[in-house]
Amino acid sequence: MRKHIVAGNWKMNNDLAQTEDLVSDLKKQSKTSDAEVMIAPATTNLWHAFQSVREDDIEVIAQNMHFAENGAYTGEVSASMLKSIGIKTVILGHSERRAYFNETDASLAKKVDAALSNDMRVIFCFGEELADRKSGNEATVVESQIKNALFHLDADAFEHIVLAYEPVWAIGTGETASPEQAQDMHAFIRKTLSNKYGNTVANNVSILYGGSVKPNNAKEIFGKPDVDGGLIGGASLKAEDFYAIVNAF
């Protein structure tokens, strides 16, 4: 069922002590919206964060995982390892993973399969680069990212998928897609899903927007009918700012 979701991607920020501080600040905030709240600390701090927010209305999620169950993949973490410490949701396909770690739609399709076969929920990220937008190819790029990584799935799988449209030119740049640009793309994404899986699947999938969402622009972006929430980078590192975004719904 389609939900409002606000997820904070902490990226490679915050050691254990800083994680403790930020989690404790988050616990002091009050939620006045119906949004599901998620935080994605670094892998080393997942267990601590998970233990700390057990009683709170915050889900701790992972930023990435490997597609294999186990084996000779030095430095990697599997879905079952995440599950074993209570993590039930994973972000896959963030543009930084695609750009710096050579993740492709094909390798992401394998990660999606591994997460789903471990009963995990996936926040699947995609989005065009500036050159794509400048040349008017943003819809083609987004459509192919979705098709190549997700369209081998059956309709039921989409109960466990959240989509995150993140135009690469808006991530960490302070430049945001306008609410209209976000709405246009989200409507296009829903249409793409509907063409393949029908209206029920398309209308039930939550589609988040990511790219310089801040307390001062969240309300306008979240006000658009096909925007179901946000994936938040920089602004998720300050508890007050993050909850101002959570409460923008």
Q: Which residues inside 209-248 make contact with ligand PEP, applying CB under 6 A?
A: 210-213, 231-235
Count of Cβ atoms closer than 10 Å to residue 136 Cβ: 8
We find the least distance from the C-beta atom of residue 234 to ligand PEP, in angstroms, to be: 3
Q: Which residues inside 110-139 make contact with ligand PEP, applying CB under 6 A?
A: none
Q: Which residues inside 2-31 make contact with ligand PEP, applying CB under 6 A?
A: 9
Report, as residue numbers or ranges, the catalytic residues: 94, 166
We find the least distance from the C-beta atom of residue 113 to ligand PEP, in angstroms, to be: 23
Which residues does residue 230 pair with via DSSP β-bridges, in sequence order?
6, 209
Which of 36, 166, 226, 228 binds ligand PEP (CB under 6 A)? It is 166
Instruction: Report the distance separating Cα 221 and Cα 205, nearest Å.
Output: 18
- Does residue 171 interact with ligand PEP by CB under 6 A? yes
Which residues does residue 231 pair with via DSSP β-bridges, in sequence order?
7, 210
**Residue indicated by tokens 């059956």:** 154
Query: Is residue 10 helix, strand or coil?
Result: coil
**Residue-by-residue DSSP string for 92-127:** E--HHHHHHS---HHHHHHHHHHHHHTT-EEEEEE-
> Which segment (51-59, 115-123, 143-151, 207-215) binds ligand PEP by CB under 6 A?
207-215
Tell me which residues touch ligand PEP (CB under 6 A).
9, 166, 171-172, 210-213, 231-235
